[in-house]
Homo-oligomer: A and B are copies of this chain.
Amino acid sequence: MGRAESRTGVWVVGAFGSLGTTTIAGVQAIVRGLVPPTGVVSEDPAFHGLGLPPLERLVFGGHEIRRDSLVESAQRITRENGSIEPSWTETLRPDLERTSARIVPGVVAGGGAAIEALGDGWCPAAERTARESVNRLVADIEAFQRESALDRVVVVNVASTEPQCETGEATQDLEILERHLDSAEPNSFRPGTLYAYAALQSRAAFVNFTASTSCLCPAIEQLARNRGVPYFGNDGKTGETLVKSGLAPLFRLRRLEVLSWIGYNVLGNRDGRVLAADENKKSKIGTKDAVVPSILGYPLRTHVGIDYVESLGDNKVAWDYVHFRGFLGHPMAMQFIWQGCDSILAAPLVIDLVRFADHALQRGESGPMRHLASYFKSPIHVTEHDLYRQFEWLLDYARSHAQQSR
């Protein structure tokens, strides 16, 4: 079977969420010719040589913790921020309904109070050990692959950010993790760990688009190595951090000395509500705060605030104040304001990541996909945060792979 005819499964953890729905409905809208693929970087001619899976060859399914449907979620998005036109939902209704049928209950226990509050009893409560939960998740993914006749599956986590993962032994060592899975209750793990485990166990590529550090803990990375599959994360770089990673190089290049870089984010979607819980916020801020000092190469006062402002819905606003010193030590300032729609910014990145991960999977690559660093606030095993340098890696990857493909 030729490449163009192969089918790639995209298993979305958090599929009924705003980002999950925007991604799935968005791909279908592009495929049906309703909109052009604005913001989809992998459509750039620079990547044509890679033979990435065409959008119409992507098949979606996923895990979710609440009973819902993509049609209703799309309509909610229309009401809240108008990013999905009502007529599209009507046109796509058959696609969305078909996909909704492939979205099944995930794991909610262990996600922390804020996430558990989102659950509605859809996820089975009777499992006695984490192993039972994981086996169910694996079975879900394998059924997806079999029933949809998929050549490969990429699992992408777009669920809400979990509280920081305690660095217990189980997350540090695969052997201990395996033992604990057998004996411990499901809620002694963060769901992120179980989803990641299940993905790798199914030999799916795994992408953690969330800030949850539970997903790519050392034990999980060991498992990925053992299974020989590619993976990457954490925390999609969509808004304020994206701008930071594109602007800080300017200050470095011109040797302007940044004294303080202070940023505040307000947003009102479900993700924001979860982040309003202090324990979940900490994960997020950790990944956002390291970017600027790393690019500039010296320590400075930074601050990243995130606050939940319900009226904004899926829109987010960020204000950054950069206090810097120029020639003769003279103080000056730059401010920026970023007003974007969270899911709209994130969805095309999810599409890119899935396609690049599929490419790696197909070529038998394994380990962390460092060439995807430009997509993440906190790319694992990567210290480079300069957006343009990170992106060069992706271009280099594309160039070298395209040559090999000839």
Contacts and interface: CB of A to CB of B under 8 A. Distances in A.
Interface string A241-259: 0110011011001111101
B321 A344 contact: no
The listed residue with most B CB atoms (<10 A of its CB), out of A81, A86, A266, is A266
A337 B285 CA distance: 24
Given A327-B345, A336-B336, A259 B311 contact: yes
Interface in A28-56: 29, 35-36, 38-41, 43-44
A86 B78 CA distance: 12
Contacts of A341: 326, 330, 332
A61 to B, nearest CB: 21
A44 B252 CA distance: 10
Interface residues of A, number: 69
Nearest to A36: B329
Interface string A289-330: 000000000000101010101111000010101010111111
Given A243-B334, A264-B264, A319-B321, A35 B253 contact: no
B344 A328 contact: yes
A184 interface: no
Stoichiometry, as copies per complex, reads 4
A335 interface: yes
Contacts of A250: 242-243, 246, 387
Interface of A: 22, 26, 29, 35-36, 38-41, 43-44, 81-84, 86, 242-243, 246-247, 249-250, 253-257, 259-260, 262, 264, 266, 301, 303, 305, 307, 309-312, 317, 319, 321, 323, 325-341, 344-345, 347-348, 374, 387-388, 391
Chain A to chain B: the 4 pairs with minimum beta-carbon distance, closest first: A259-B311, A246-B250, A39-B327, A336-B336
